[in-house]
Amino acid sequence: MAEKDVVMNESQDSKENVQTQLQEEYLKSLESLEEGQLVDGVVIQVTPDQVFVDVGYKSEGKIPITEFSVVPKVGDKVSVVLVTKENKQGEVIVSKQKADVKASWKLLRQAFQDKAPVDGVIEKIVKGGFDVNLGGNSHAFLPISQSDSQKVEKAEKLIGVKSKFYIERLYSDNKINIVVNRRKYLEKSIEENREAFFNNVKIGDVVKGEVKSFTSFGAFIDLGGFDGLLHINDMSWGHVTRPKDFVKKGQEIELKVIRLDPNEKRINLSLKHFTEDPWLHFENKYHVNDIVKGKVTKLTEFGAFIELEEGIEGLAHISEFSWVKKVNKPEDMVKIGDEVECMILGYDIQAGRVSLGLKQVTENPWEKIGEKYPVGTKLTRKVVKITNSGAFIELEDGIDGFLHADDISWTKKVKHPGSELTVGQEVETVVIENDTENHKIKLGIKQLTDDPWVNFTNEYKPGSTLEGEIVSITDFGLFVKAPCGIEGLVNKANLSENKDEPFEEAVQKYKVGDKINVFVVDVNPSKQKAAFSVKEFKRKVQRDEISQYMTSNQDEDEGTYTLGDMIKDKK
């Protein structure tokens, strides 16, 4: 029994020695805690206002719950800074906030050395840039020039943005001065994304992007910091006037990749390639001379573009608008959005072109115009236009006949048709020529009566005389109207018998309206010209007198009678 008691006593002494040793080690560990030291604790209690943390001291530390961004649970490990080992109340004072700052600075220094990006939030605008919260009560300055990969138009749009930043500067003049750069991080990320895109994407793949901006030739699509181009011609197989009609800014869309150029870093995208090219089946649906329906999509100076279906558009040239009307502007006949009937005149599949005609769906009135208005047809119609050379007279809607100035009068020289005709005037005419092939009809007024030149030529041969009326006096002679209405010229050389008398003196003997006797020198009906002479008229009168006188004297005296005898008798 005594031996057993001895063993038990030894065991109890051993346990007390272990406890004493542990207590000594614990007291040493407490003594090793220093104020300002970063230590790990365990959450042992959470109240609405406080978090109690066991840091291995005789009393737990208390931390205001406001220092936690996320409320911890009992058993969670928390890093804190020992502020005071024991205050007057015997409490341990610890700080989670200071621990966060220390931990944050440790990370910031390491990131600066390693040139690694850190997380942060852009909180507010300051002079020259932004204030960035890096966490752990650490703030940095972000220059506006380094805040984005593109020019910042509206700084307020970056407020609240969470991003990664490179630390450009950590200290300056022994003061805390942190400067960060977001642009460098974005550009590096963009380049990595672009390189991955070219490595992984091939032509024909479908990609997602966001409509970023517009130009006159298309839209730029953001594919993850880098752009692809959606050209206006790749938005639809049909005609596209405005890119904004097909996509909206900020819209997320799927597109097909149709071109990749890694060297130039160019990416071409398409919307229309999700559907088949309609030109592949054009000849199965359309043929020359087919009459089809379409919609007017665009007007130009030379015609109208008409969409037959999405992706197939043809041009109706302005010359194919009407058989009879001269169309100066396409908008006088059609407007954008009109549904029209037209005929296919031709096409070029490779070039994607279709020629259309609007007039071909109606009957050509010129095909029967020859039957309707044969030469010799007399018409009373309205003058619609006057030109320097003649007048256009409307025969029916869209079809005009032309009356030349030379065909207004047989005898009168019409210098300008406006002196004889006015727009809107009803005139009687006759068809003198009908050229249906070239769409021309010639009219005449003078042809309604007989040609007076024919009657004049028959009645007044060269050598005959007549009495006329002076209608005008010019520098080169007198114009005299004959009894039948035609006018002839008395050239100044044919006005006076006296060669020495100047024309200016000789012409003073006459005035417009005077009756005058003239000798017919020449008549040219084809050119409608007649030449008269006063000088030759007087000579003829003299010759006739001599002839008459000589004849009468010969009857009285059968002897020879001379010119000298006649002069002597006159004396």
pLDDT score of 110? 87
| 3 state SS of 147 | coil
Closest by CA to 520, choosing from 496, 544, 542, 490, is: 490
> Model-level pTM?
0.48
Output b/e per residue, 502-521; b: 16+ Cβ within 10 A: eeeebbeebeeeeebebbbb
- Asked if residue 464 and residue 535 are part of one domain, the reply reads yes
Residue 47 included in any domain: yes
* CA dist., res. 363 & res. 396, Å (int): 15
More confident residue, 153 or 24: 153
By the 8 A CB rule, do 122 and 163 touch?
yes
Q: Where among 116, 150, 178 does a domain terminate?
A: 116
* CA dist., res. 275 & res. 293, Å (int): 23
For residue 158, the one-letter residue type is L
- Asked if residue 215 and residue 180 are part of one domain, the reply reads no
Q: Where among 65, 87, 116 does a domain terminate?
A: 116
Provide the pLDDT confidence category of residue 30 given band limits of 50, 70 and 90: very low
- Asked if residue 288 and residue 269 are part of one domain, the reply reads no
Domain with 334, as residue range(s), is 278-361
Residue 550 included in any domain: no
| 3 state SS of 59 | coil
- Asked if residue 165 and residue 136 are part of one domain, the reply reads yes
For residue 508, is pLDDT > 50?
A: yes
Q: Where among 448, 478, 502 does a domain terminate?
A: 448
For residue 389, is pLDDT > 80?
A: yes
pLDDT score of 396? 87
Residues 289-347 pLDDT 10s = 999 999 999 899 999 999 999 889 999 999 999 988 888 899 999 999 999 999 999 99
Q: In the chain, how many domains are there?
A: 6
pLDDT score of 172? 61
Chain position carrying tokens 């003198």:
432
Using alpha carbons, list the distances in angstroms from residue 80 to 41, 75, 138.
Answer: 7, 15, 17
- Asked if residue 289 and residue 246 are part of one domain, the reply reads no
Residue 408 included in any domain: yes
By the 8 A CB rule, do 95 and 79 touch?
no
Residues 83-137 pLDDT 10s = 655 655 556 777 676 777 777 778 888 888 888 999 999 999 999 999 999 887 7
For residue 563, is pLDDT > 60?
A: no
Find how far residue 5's CA is from the centre of its chain. Answer: 114
- Asked if residue 106 and residue 124 are part of one domain, the reply reads no
pLDDT score of 173? 61
| Segment 218-234 mean pLDDT | 90
- Asked if residue 126 and residue 69 are part of one domain, the reply reads no
Contact partners, residue 524, CB within 8 Å, separation at least 6: 530
- Asked if residue 243 and residue 228 are part of one domain, the reply reads yes
Domain CATH code at residue 309: 2.40.50.140
Using alpha carbons, list the distances in angstroms from residue 105 to 111, 123, 139, 493.
Answer: 10, 19, 11, 124
User: To the nearest whole number, what is the mean pLDDT of the chain?
Assistant: 83
pLDDT score of 87? 57
Provide the pLDDT confidence category of residue 528 given band limits of 50, 70 and 90: confident
Residue 454 included in any domain: no
Residue 552 included in any domain: no
Residue 231 included in any domain: yes
pLDDT score of 206? 92
- Asked if residue 407 and residue 385 are part of one domain, the reply reads yes
- Asked if residue 79 and residue 36 are part of one domain, the reply reads yes
Provide the pLDDT confidence category of residue 28 given band limits of 50, 70 and 90: very low
Residue 12 included in any domain: no
